[in-house]
Structure 1
Amino acid sequence: MNIRSAVLFATAAIAALSFNTNVEARPRVEPSVHRTLRQEGSVNLMITMKASTRRALQSVNEKAFATRGDKIQHLVETLEAHASSTGRDVEKLLSQESSSEQPLFTSYQKFWITNQIYIESASWELLEKLVTLDSIEEVREEEVVQLEDSDSSSSSGSADAGSAGVAWGVEQIGAPLLWVKGFTGQGVVVGSIDSGVHYTHENLAGNFVGDYGWYAPPNNLTAPSDKSGHGTHVMGTIAGSGGIGVAPGAKWMTCRGCPSGLCVENYLLTCFQFITCPTDPEGKNRDCSKAPHVVNNSWSSPAGKKTYVAAIDAWLAAGIIPVFASGNTGPTCTTTRSPGDYPTVISVGSLAVNGTLARSSSKGPALDSSLVKPDLSAPGVLVRSAAFDSDSGYTLKSGTSMATPHVVGAIALLLSAKPDLTFNEVRDLLRVSTVKAGLTPLNSSCGSLDDATWPNNNYGHGRVNVYGAYEKLVAGSSSSTL
Structure 2
Amino acid sequence: MKITAITPLPPSHVAGIIAGDGTLSGGHIQGIAPQAFIVSVRVLDAHGKGRLSAMLEGIRWLKENGKRLGIQIVNISVGSVKKQKENSQLVKAVESLWDSGLVICSAAGNEGMQQHNITSPGISRKIITVGSCDDKEMIDEGGRFYHNYSGRGPTIACICKPEIVAPGTNIVATNAMKGEDDRPYTVKSGTSMSTPMVSGAAALLLERYPKMTNTNVKLKLWKSAKNLGLPRSHQGWGQLDISHLLE
- Structure number having the greater helix percentage: 1
Q: Secondary structure of 1:461's partner?
A: coil
Q: Does 1:317 align with 2:99?
A: yes
| 8 Å CA contact 1:384, 1:396 repeated in 2 | yes
Q: Work out the CA distance in 2 between the residues paired with 1:458 and 1:309.
A: 21
How much has 1:440 moved relative to structure 2?
6.5
How much has 1:310 moved relative to structure 2?
2.8
Q: Specify which of 252, 275, 282 is matched with residue 62 of structure 2.
A: 275
Q: Work out the CA distance in 2 between the residues paired with 1:339 and 1:208.
A: 31
Q: Does 1:424 align with 2:200?
A: no
Q: Specify which of 74, 82, 97 is matched with residue 295 of structure 1.
A: 74
With normalisation by structure 2, the TM-score equals 0.80
Q: Work out the CA distance in 1 between the residues paired with 2:71 and 2:168.
A: 24
| Counterpart code for 2:167 | P
Q: Work out the CA distance in 1 between the residues paired with 2:52 and 2:223.
A: 35
Compared CA separation, residues 391 and 414, structure 1 to 2 (3 A):
farther
| 8 Å CA contact 1:355, 1:440 repeated in 2 | no
Q: Percent identity?
A: 30
| 8 Å CA contact 1:312, 1:344 repeated in 2 | no
Compared CA separation, residues 392 and 420, structure 1 to 2 (3 A):
farther
Q: Specify which of 292, 296, 304 is matched with residue 84 of structure 2.
A: 304
With normalisation by structure 1, the TM-score equals 0.43
- 1:38-53 mapped onto 2 (5 Å cutoff): none
| 8 Å CA contact 1:363, 1:374 repeated in 2 | yes
How much has 1:309 moved relative to structure 2?
3.0
How much has 1:432 moved relative to structure 2?
1.0
| Counterpart code for 1:460 | G
Q: Specify which of 97, 121, 126 is matched with residue 339 of structure 1.
A: 121
How much has 1:408 moved relative to structure 2?
0.4
| Counterpart code for 2:31 | G
Q: Work out the CA distance in 1 between the residues paired with 2:191 and 2:99.
A: 26
Q: Does 1:328 align with 2:107?
A: no
Compared CA separation, residues 330 and 353, structure 1 to 2 (3 A):
closer
Count of aligned positions: 222
Match of 2:142 in 1: none
Q: Does 1:434 align with 2:205?
A: no
Q: Work out the CA distance in 1 between the residues paired with 2:76 and 2:13.
A: 18
**Structure 1 runs (4+) greater than 3 angstroms displaced:** 353-356
How much has 1:352 moved relative to structure 2?
2.2
Compared CA separation, residues 469 and 303, structure 1 to 2 (3 A):
farther
How much has 1:209 moved relative to structure 2?
4.3
Q: Does 1:349 align with 2:131?
A: yes
| Counterpart code for 2:102 | I
| 8 Å CA contact 1:323, 1:404 repeated in 2 | yes
For 1:42-77, what per-residue CA distance to the aligned partner results, in whole angstroms no more than 9, with x for missing partners?
xxxxxxxxxxxxxxxxxxxxxxxxxxxxxxxxxxxx
Compared CA separation, residues 353 and 261, structure 1 to 2 (3 A):
closer
Match of 1:241 in 2: 21
How much has 1:250 moved relative to structure 2?
1.0
Match of 2:53 in 1: 266
For 1:191-244, what per-residue CA distance to the aligned partner results, in whole angstroms no more than 9, with x for missing partners?
xxxxxxxxxxxxxxxx9941xx5xxxxxxxxxxxxxxxxxxxxx99xx202233
| 8 Å CA contact 2:111, 2:149 repeated in 1 | yes
Compared CA separation, residues 321 and 245, structure 1 to 2 (3 A):
same
| 8 Å CA contact 1:430, 1:464 repeated in 2 | yes
Q: Work out the CA distance in 2 between the residues paired with 1:188 and 1:432.
A: 29
Q: Does 1:469 align with 2:245?
A: yes
Q: Work out the CA distance in 2 between the residues paired with 1:263 and 1:275.
A: 18
Match of 2:26 in 1: none
Q: Secondary structure of 2:246's partner?
A: helix
Q: Does 1:384 align with 2:160?
A: no
Q: Secondary structure of 1:315's partner?
A: helix
For 1:322-359, what per-residue CA distance to the aligned partner results, in whole angstroms no more than 9, with x for missing partners?
11000100111111111101111100111229999x50
Q: Work out the CA distance in 2 between the residues paired with 1:263 and 1:303.
A: 16
Unaligned runs of 5+ in 1: 1-146, 149-184, 190-206, 214-234, 279-286, 442-450, 472-482
For 1:435-470, what per-residue CA distance to the aligned partner results, in whole angstroms no more than 9, with x for missing partners?
12xx375xxxxxxxxx3xxxx111110001122112
Q: Secondary structure of 1:277's partner?
A: helix
Query: Which has the higher Rg, Structure 1 or Structure 2?
Result: 1
Q: Secondary structure of 1:411's partner?
A: helix
Q: Work out the CA distance in 2 between the residues paired with 1:319 and 1:252.
A: 18
| 8 Å CA contact 1:209, 1:252 repeated in 2 | no
How much has 1:298 moved relative to structure 2?
1.1
